[in-house]
Amino acid sequence: MAKYRSSVTALYNKVVNFNVESLFSRHPGPGIPRTVFFNQNLPDSYFDPKGKPKKEHVYPTNQVISSKYTIITFLPRNLLEQFRRIANIFFAFIAILQFFPEFSTISPGLVIIPILIVLSITAIKDGYEDVKRHQSDRHVNHSQVRVLAGGDWVNPNLNGRKSRTFVRGIVPRRRPKRKDVEAGSTTKQDPDIEYDRADSMEEVEHHMFGDAGEIIRPHWHKTMWEDIRVGDFVKIMNDEPIPADLLICATSEDENVAFVETKNLDGETNLKSRNACPALTDLHTAASCVSTLNPFTIDCDRPDTNMYRFNATVTRNGEKSPVDVQTVLLRGTVLRNTDWVIGVVLFTGTETKIVLNSGGTPSKRSRVEKQINPQVLANLAILAIMAVVCGIADSQIEAVQYAEGAPWLYGDDVSNDNPRINGLITWAFALITFQNIVPISLYISIEFVKTCQALFIYFDYDIFYVKKNQPTIARSYNLSDDLGQIEYIFSDKTGTLTQNSMVFRECSIAGTVYHGDPEEDEDEDIKKTSGNSTDVVRETSNDSSYASTSVRGDDPAVLSAADVTAVKLSSGVLKHFRDERLSQDLARAVEAEPDSENAAQARSLNGFFSVLALCHTVLTAVDPVTGAIEYKAQSPDEAALVQAAADVGFIFRGREKEILLLQTPFSKETERYELLNILEFTSARKRMSVIIKKLDEQDGRLFLLTKGADNVIFERLKAGGDDWKRTTEAHLEDFANAGLRTLTLAYKVIQEDEYEAWSERYHEASTALEDREDKIEAVCNEIEQELRLLGATAIEDRLQDGVPETIADLKVAGIKVWVATGDKLETAIGSTSHIFDTAIGRSTNLIAEDSNIIIIRGSDRPVEHQMIQAVEEFFPDSGILDEHGIASKSPSTESTSAFPMRRLSLGVRDIVGDDNGNRPGGFVLVIDGAALDHALPDDDNKALLLRLATQCEGVICCRVSPLQKALVVKMVKDGLHVMTLAIGDGANDVSMIQAADVGVGISGEEGLQAVNSSDYAIAQFRFLKKLLLVHGHWSYARNGIMIVNFFYKNIVCIGVLWWFQIYCGWSSAYAFEYTYLLFWNSFWTIAPVLGIGLFDRIVDADVLMAFPELYRYGRERTWFSMKSFLIYMIDGVIQSVPIYFIITYAYFTTTSRTDGYSIELYEYSTTMVFATVIAVSLFNGLNTNVWTAWVFFAVFIGIIILWIFTAVYDAISPGWTVTNVYGNNYYLFTSAYFWLCQPLVIAIALLPRYLYRAWQLGYAPGDLEMLRYIRKTRPDLDMATLRSESTRSKPYASSRRRTSSHMSRASIACSSADNLSLDPRMAQDPRGASRTDMSTGIRSVYRGFDFATEEGGVAMRRMQTNLSERRQSSRNLPSIQQSPPKRSLRLFSSLRRKATLKKDD
């Protein structure tokens, strides 16, 4: 029995989880390794004996389709999707049943029209939505890229055919025909053809030969993305997206380095450096690519989803060269700061990594729609019982009365006419009679209402982005009610929550803090500068002269940064740093004498901004249009630091090889520094240093310039200056409390003999074969000691407008917000701390100053052990380990001995003690992609991770791939059975958006891929608040109340018909004239429920916005559930009792006719029709919360139509058409019973619901009732004011007030002091958030540090290699001479030189 039950359960789950996409989506399976051939023919093994290519060697096209349907699959797939609705199957069965004569009611053609209308309208809506997807796909697939052509070039590799879609199939693309000019005139060059500059000398010869010469010569032809094939050579220009997965052959830059922006893939905003494959660097022109003298092959591994792995081998002239991810450009990335790149296509379309990480377009159904199915099944079960009862009762009555000789049963003893057969026919006819128990108009009404709700969203000016003239668009109309039930939000960070634009806010120099000038004109300044920057970039993005000065500095045709005076606002930097007080201090410092009281401040200012201007990897570029310097940085925060230095006069003018050029206010000439070493930034080091030598005859000292996290800098400072350190540390606390990203600066002067010895050790470490990284770190740590503190910086990673307030209200609404980002761990924590600290303050503190951060990362220590120890240490009473049965195998003993929890010393201040985990800020879980790789595939680890995450107030997933984002969403959605929403703006968010119940795309800086795959498209994250709290809540409440009222109004009608069966021998006969039943859901009762779905408001929009707590009604599924369904069904059955029996016995007592004749059936049944229609209409009105003019119209229009119809229909004479009710109005409206029964029956039917509503409002009002009452009695009251008053009345209200994103940092600091809780745990120092890294056991304090740059990138390796080679070749340090007399420690000699000049004067 148990085995049978399990098999039935398995079958049921299989049916319930049936996925339509599985029937229509292609499953090619895992790809196979491939060999791509260039300038040579394919081997014979690639073809079968008939000469046809083998299937495994035919590669997919580069066409990417996110739409669901094609012309061929639209009809079957759409019908399958629609027939997932059980009601549609039932309606189709009933319609087919009526085609048989035995069950015919009216014309069979008319019977099938309703179901056809329902299916057609839904199909048209789905088709329209998919056409929009096709248009978006067309926009992407028809983007153009330069592909090698001419010169007899042939790509031998084989590609499949492109798919035909709606747009391509119906409206073929017509390209304009080329028009020939008159004979003798100059031939006009095809605009789609471009030649390399090396061929420019042949232009004259080219024009002499005309068109034929153009075609023969190797060139680059602009081709659509979808026409790119595996094996094509492509040329990508600066700022152009990459169309496929490419192997780099050559670039425009020295040493063939290219810079690429990968935020569409991994969300990281800092630029990555890539280099060309060394074996192919000579293929830098079209002619060299075409030459048959350059044959080679590329052996590639099978396509996979790992974004950080790429294995291939280039074979050329018998020599093999390795290929890894550093030599590859992936589709979805964008080329930056590089004039051009030539590459070969290795993977296209569905085999590119970004597409492999995104799933197919899902067919999403709302939760309400899914809940309707069991309710429809319940009604079908009721219908089946009613039909069976009618069939059995009719059969038994016929069997008994036939034996008694009933005359109407004469001859009912033949094979096709006997009690048994007639009982079966009565059963089938009962299905037709009571079919309205499942209203066919329900689904079409829902579709209509949801379409109107989508239009309400579209026309809502509050969520209309005026700047871009962009409304909020519902791309999937059927998910509006899901917006009102969201429990978890998964958000990308960059571009979604942050603008990825930096503002240099404040700095602390020598104990003095500079806050920057007031921000009253900041918005205008930002708008003006960003607008100008955008225009310039657009105009010059493809101009080859707009290049790095470090690369093209020797080209006389290119402007040199050393000759330029203006500095343009860098990309990603919103505004210039201005501080009047700083300007005055600098002016005094420039004029200060070496021995004056201002000399120390002058040295500090000079040193501070010199470190900002020299300690970096920024490149300079000169805009040929404006003639201004622009800084090209791998990350916007690094650009903001160099930009800030330039804003105050310390202008970095670029680099010439290893020579750095700097202009300062302290020197009239450009200062020159030789770059000796770069001690690069890593997540472990948390600092970056450069060793430079000043090229000055009078001052040739060596300097170590360092910037990094405050803890690593402070513990390396020279002893002394404690007051200065304490002041700087206090400033750092203030910066962090304001949500700013901090960085600490320091320096030291290095003696030449010390550097000589250290340089030898560094060289040995950098060339070591074993433990190279550890040895380099040890040697770097040696010289990064005894530093002198200069100060600290504070940068704001500008949030999107309204993000803090939006997140605060979403949290108040009970929605949990998770962040999934591709950023590295430090950036994820830093930026998210800014976001959530500013947004929520100390009320919920996802990451606040007093949060406890649990870090789980992929390392040598198993991820499972890290999670178990985290549970044991921080949540010992949660019972998680007992639930998973792993308490017995807890590795706590061995793990604590192998990885003991230890504190990371901060040098100056160590405020983390044994009380970790008791801080009042709660817990935040941070997990990286490497840890998810181990946790997600294993069911036990995934369950443990989910339980651990639910114990925390926030979760941040960093360094995650697009596929991992989707898996995290599915883990929460399937594991907790909650409603999820994912929001993002880039291609790396597509999988997450598709995996969530509701996907929201932001049309931001990262393209439209997220919008194209989303269900809702918004322009700003802040619009999500009204979309959920107002439109979502309204839609869910409207749809839920509408549906249960829909079932109610039909069960009342069915109940009346059912009670009639008692008096008609259970024959399934109609009590009403059939026309009244036919129009029941079309005219009489459809308007009131539509009025609820369109115009009802549980409360007004401003109330929902002011009180986000009301959203809990949606999260708790208050408005639509099986409980509410049963209540309304029972209410309908109860109301049908007085309607039928009171009217029946009123008419059956004494005839209502004045002539004494008995009544006809339709006389009293029409009275029932009137009473039922009026009762259900008023009942629907009673369930409406706001009576507007539209609601009045909806409630009474059906009643008015019924009266008019009855008067007209009953008056139609047989001369026009034969009806069964001709003349009925003569008896109906003159009957006293008709007028007596209407008010009596209606009042009795509505009395229970009326009494319940009166009791609820008077004695048990909820939040909604009270707010509606307040709005009714005080319509002019501002609900936001009421909210603030009610908040202040609570004893803990002060700690729950939200801060504005535009609130000044001073006010934030003041409010922080005022909002302290009385919790005894707050007696601790709340200024540092405790962090526990479960992979290492290190506990530390977080104080706002964040810095983003590429770690171990190609560009950095190239620079290190150049420095190493230069050291080996020249050993350019001068011989150690006798040390000069000891001088006062000045960072640079500008002041000394100035004093010397004055003495000479």
Catalytic annotation, residues: 492
Contacts of 1009 (CB under 8 A, 6+ apart): 140, 264, 332, 986, 987, 990
Q: Are the beta carbons of 789 and 603 closer than 8 angstroms?
A: no
* Spatial separation of the C-alpha atoms in residues 761 and 776, rounded to whole Å: 9
β-partners of residue 787 are 717
Q: At what angle do helices 1086-1095 and 1033-1061 cross, to 10 degrees?
A: 160
**984 in helix, strand or coil?**
strand
**506 in helix, strand or coil?**
strand
Closest CA to 606 of 1396, 1386, 1392: 1386
What do you get for the CA distance between the two ends of the chain, in Å? 110
* Spatial separation of the C-alpha atoms in residues 120 and 936, rounded to whole Å: 42
Q: Which amino acid, residue 1100?
A: D
* Size (the chain), residues: 1401
Residue 1328 Ramachandran class (φ > 0 left, ψ -120 to 50 alpha, else beta)? beta
Q: What is the DSSP letter of 1027?
A: I
Q: Are the beta carbons of 1346 and 873 closer than 8 angstroms?
A: no
Tokens of 50: 């008939």
* Spatial separation of the C-alpha atoms in residues 1399 and 1401, rounded to whole Å: 5
Q: Which helix (H) or strand (E) holds 454?
A: helix 441-458
**DSSP conformation letters of 919-939:** STT-EEEEEEHHHHHHHSSSH
Please classify residue 946 by burial: count the beta carbons closer than 10 Å to its beta carbon, then call 0-12 exposed, 13-18 middle and 19+ buried.
middle
CA atoms within 13 A on the CB side of 538: 6
Contacts of 968 (CB under 8 A, 6+ apart): 490, 818, 820, 932, 936, 957, 960, 992
Closest CA to 568 of 617, 522, 612, 535: 535
Contacts of 16 (CB under 8 A, 6+ apart): none
Q: What is the DSSP letter of 1302?
A: T
* Spatial separation of the C-alpha atoms in residues 706 and 720, rounded to whole Å: 19
**DSSP conformation letters of 113-136:** HHHHHHHHHHHHHHHHHHHHHHHH
Please classify residue 1094 by burial: count the beta carbons closer than 10 Å to its beta carbon, then call 0-12 exposed, 13-18 middle and 19+ buried.
middle
Tokens of 1334: 């479960």
Q: Are the beta carbons of 457 and 463 closer than 8 angstroms?
A: yes
CA dihedral sign of residues 573, 579, 583, 585: negative
Torsion angle (degrees, nearest 10) of CA 886, 889, 890, 894: -160
Contacts of 544 (CB under 8 A, 6+ apart): 197, 252, 339, 340
Closest CA to 909 of 1344, 1309, 513, 1341: 1341
Give the angle 689-694-696 at the CA atoms, nearest 5°: 175
* Spatial separation of the C-alpha atoms in residues 1326 and 1309, rounded to whole Å: 13
Give the angle 331-347-1010 at the CA atoms, nearest 5°: 30
* Spatial separation of the C-alpha atoms in residues 739 and 1302, rounded to whole Å: 12
Tokens of 578: 């201005």
Phi, psi of 1331 (to 5 degrees): -125, 130
